[in-house]
Amino acid sequence: MIERIFYHFVKCLFRLFFTLYNRLEVRGLGNIPKNTTMIVASNHASYIDPPLIGCVFPGMLRYLAKESLFRVPLLGFFIRALGAVPVKREDSQRAGAVMKSLLFMLKNGDSVLLFPEGSRSPDGRIKPLEAGVAYLSVKAGVPVLPVYVSGSFGAWPRGNMLPRPSKLTLSVSRLIYPDEEAGNERDKRTLVMNTLESALLSMEAEMNVR
């Protein structure tokens, strides 16, 4: 109970910070249903992305983070409070161990945040997606929520010590459910991946036009 209260307190602090400092705008929040376990899949261009998505998501959200980040003063404290789970370097290099941890969280009823590009984008544009999100979605039988963060690359680019007051926009698309009629497991994963990629690229194109 205390952990949940503190989680929401930290979320409010981050939401206030991003709203005032980065003029945060959120679109499509109504696409997130209540009491539904899901995988939140987002583009990834900055260290800002996890706490930003975490403070907007209406429920509790878990995600994996490098163990070294938890040793950074204040940062480690806050990301742990926002649901981050430390991953040792040797474990991060073993895909099986990571998938096992995430699958356990999902089957335990915890929604998780994943970045299907695998790492931060070097130029702010979406990179080719890895298959882990689709694998977990089909294995756990949970939907995927596509999320696109615009402006985080400029707000906190690689090499900068502190974030800039650049505008941030977070867009939420509709849930993608594993199709039970899609055929075998490989077909189901392919369908989830293609739909997710299409949703993210569509949101990226829309934001670049504005």
CB of 32 within 8 A of CB of 58? yes
CA distance 176 to 1: 31
Considering the entire predicted model, what is its pTM?
Answer: 0.89
Percent of the chain with pLDDT over 90: 55
Chain segment 48-98, per-residue pLDDT in tens: 898 899 999 998 898 877 777 777 777 777 777 777 777 765 554 456 777
Q: In what order do the strands lie in the sheet with 111-114?
A: 25-27, 169-172, 144-150, 39-42, 111-114, 61-66, 84-87
Residue 94: the pLDDT is: 58
CA distance 115 to 152: 14
Q: Nearest Cα to 147, choosing from 178, 168, 165, 122?
A: 168
CATH 3.40.1130.10 is the classification of domain 2-209: yes
Q: Are strands 169-172 and 144-150 parallel, antiparallel or unpaired?
A: antiparallel
CA distance 195 to 31: 16
Residue 7: burial class (beta carbons within 10 Å; 0-12, 13-18, 19+): middle
Q: DSSP state, 94?
A: -
Average pLDDT, the chain: 87
